Amino acid sequence: MSAFTTALDALRRHREEHRDFDLREAFRDEPARFERFSARFDDMLLDYSKCAVTEETFLLLENLATAAGLEERRDAMFEGRRINVTEDRAVLHTALRSSSGASIRLDGQEISRDVEAVLAAMARFSEGVRGGSLEGATGKAFTDVVNIGIGGSDLGPAMATLALAPYHDGPRLHYVSNVDGAHIADTLKGLAPETTLFIVASKTFTTIETMTNAETARGWVKEALGAEAVGAHFAAVSTALDKVAAFGIDSDRVFGFWDWVGGRYSLWSAIGLPIMIAIGSEDFRRFLQGAEAVDNHFRVEPLRQNLPVLLGLIGYWHRVACAYPARAVIPYDQRLARLPAYLQQLDMESNGKRVTLDGAPVQTPTGPLVWGEPGTNGQHAFFQLLHQGTDVIPVEFILAANGHEPALKHHHDLLVANCLAQSEALMRGRTLEEATAQLIARGMDEARAAELAPHRVFPGNRPSVTIVYDKLDPFTLGRLIALYEHRVFVEATLYGINAFDQWGVELGKELATELLPVVQGDKEASGRDASTAGLVAHVARLRK
């Protein structure tokens, strides 16, 4: 039996022995529980005391991490070893935010110089757009920038642009991702071709959604301003420089990155160009510095003080030992409204895998379903299920102590109170006796109170973690994203899977390519299953 299997068996036994662990009792019996089960990184606090864990749980989880070679694998990633084995690639998004000047070499190349060169080119371009010295074909400054990309070439910049709205002093930013023509049509409706700049963002420059939207945008500029105007209204971000040239975008408007940057880890690269245009190169640097601070923390802190490690161990505990199928991420911050969608790709595309690094079926569950919405909105939508539904879904609350609107402090007070109240309610719950007593205290007769009280019982004992920091500024957003990136890495290491490939997105793409001529009526549906053929026929009838 391997050391890992032994450690996993011990963890599972521990869970079985503590199945009746009660958080309310734990808080009653352990005055130091919050201190013991929380960790700080400067102002950033991770409170995991409202999870059903003990010191022994963490000893067992640490044993497991050691048996999985977590620290060695972490070091291998930072050193640029080819840990993405199925694509034979290094995983070096951390090099994009390394300001230490330390040499990072890959295949004999000094990559930190390449990274700096692209950052400098991005800064020149974005300052030109922001300051108005870079103009459209008719000599007008750009008022609007449309990023065309999807997945990692969209979600990160779109999430960060909204998150950093208080720092946004550049032109307006728009994001078009969906191949649904409604997306680009609705976006372009309010825009003027003369003052609109498009950034075509695609690592591969082959993604059908992005290429289709880019061609539509090119047609829109051409129709309004003529073919010769197109060059002045387009820039591109890609690793496939030959394909960008073939599309017709000038090489001085192309910002490259590298195959060692995964799509969902790419917002630190030139894919972050729209963020830089929105907030300026100095604030973009602060965003990178925040991520770098977490990289350094992740590399050196002991496991029990290491925030990404702790978050990963808790995630693994909930998913594998407790068998919870999902986790909800609830930022109490309207400007983090796109964070759950961003984390869905980061987490689910990374850890939604069913074979280990060597291709054998995994022996444990892997990545959970990740979902969420900002609080307090979620409270009025799905929190009912979190509190009284039959599944336990651990919740991750994210909260800034301070907002950006000092004149609206009372709003922020309410936001904070609601966030803290929800984690307290999940943990504490309300017993039948408490529910009955409350109804009677309100003047209800005993018989009716007995009827209604069961509906008002909250089982409680439901786990949550809370991440609190001072304020959502560029530095802190960088920290938050890097924290989640490394947590995904920690969990992947424990699952024994490759977090950096995404073969699961391929089959659907291949079948869509096959089905396009069928949908267009140029090919028969014969040979396809009856459901697909029937759906094709029904759509065709409705489109006649």
Phi and psi of 389, rounded to 5°? Answer: -70, 170
Active site residue 203: no
- Show contacts with ligand F6P in window 316-375 (CB under 6 A): 349
Closest CA to 94 of 106, 85, 86, 109: 106
Q: Which position among 35, 189, 228, 380 bears the catalytic label?
A: 380
Q: How far is the CB of 243 from ligand F6P (least distance, A)?
A: 10
481, 414 in Cβ contact below 8 A? no
Cβ proximity to ligand F6P: between 68 and 244 the closer is: 244
Which residues are paired to 39 by β-bridges? 46
Q: Does 177 contact ligand F6P by CB under 6 A? A: no
Q: Which amino acid is at 284?
A: F
- At its nearest, how many Å lie between ligand F6P and the CB of residue 107? 22
Q: Which of 204, 334, 364, 418 lies at the binding interface for ligand F6P (CB under 6 A)?
A: 204
| Near ligand F6P by CB under 6 A: residue from 161, 195, 210, 344 | 210
Q: Is 502 in the site for ligand F6P (CB under 6 A)?
A: yes
**Peptide bond before 376: cis, by omega within 30 degrees of 0?**
yes
Distance CA(96)–CA(94), nearest Å, equals 5
User: Within 13 Å and on the Cβ side, how many CA atoms surround 505?
Assistant: 12
**Cα 214 to Cα 220: distance, rounded to the nearest angstrom:** 10
Is 133 or 513 the residue whose CB approaches ligand F6P more closely? 513
Beta strands 369-371; 395-400: pairing state: unpaired
> What tokens were used for 434?
């408490």
Number of residues that bind ligand F6P (CB under 6 A): 14
Residue 150 or 439: which CB sits closer to ligand F6P? 150
Based on the shown chain and the rule CB under 6 A, indicate whether residue 272 belongs to the binding site for ligand F6P. no
Active-site pick, 194, 209, 292, 349:
349
Residue 261 binds to ligand F6P (criterion: CB under 6 A): no
Closer residue to ligand F6P, CB minimum distance, 346 or 494? 346
Say whether residue 212 binds ligand F6P (CB under 6 A): no
Is the CB of residue 57 less than 8 Å from the CB of residue 7? no
- The three-state DSSP-derived secondary structure of 51-85 is CCCCHHHHHHHHHHHHHCCHHHHHHHHHCCCCCEC
Closest CB 264 distance from ligand F6P, rounded Å:
5
- Segment contacting ligand F6P by CB under 6 A, of 80-88, 116-124, 150-158, 243-251: 150-158
Show the tokens assigned to 393.
């879904």
CA distance 117 to 536: 50
Query: Does residue 151 interact with ligand F6P by CB under 6 A?
Result: yes
Residue from the set 187, 207, 436, 466 that interacts with ligand F6P by CB under 6 A: 207
Q: Is 152 in the site for ligand F6P (CB under 6 A)?
A: yes
Tokens of 223: 């129709």
Q: What angle do CA 263, 266, 270 make, to 5 degrees?
A: 120
The beta strands (E) that lie in 222-371 are given as 234-238, 254-256, 326-331, 369-371
Active site residue 509: yes
Nearer to ligand F6P, 60 or 240 (CB): 240
Q: Give least dist CB 196 to ligand F6P, A.
A: 21
Dihedral of alpha carbons 300, 70, 99, 199, sign: negative
Task: Confirm whether 349 is a catalytic residue.
Answer: yes
Q: Is 153 among the residues that bind ligand F6P (CB under 6 A)?
A: yes
142: DSSP letter: P
Q: Does 213 bind ligand F6P (CB under 6 A)?
A: no
Asked if 256 is part of the footprint of ligand F6P (rule: CB under 6 A), the reply reads no
Smallest distance from the beta carbon of 176 to ligand F6P, in angstroms? 13
Catalytic residues, which ones? 349, 380, 509
Question: Which residues form the interface with ligand F6P (CB under 6 A)?
Answer: 150-153, 202-204, 207, 210, 263-264, 349, 502, 505
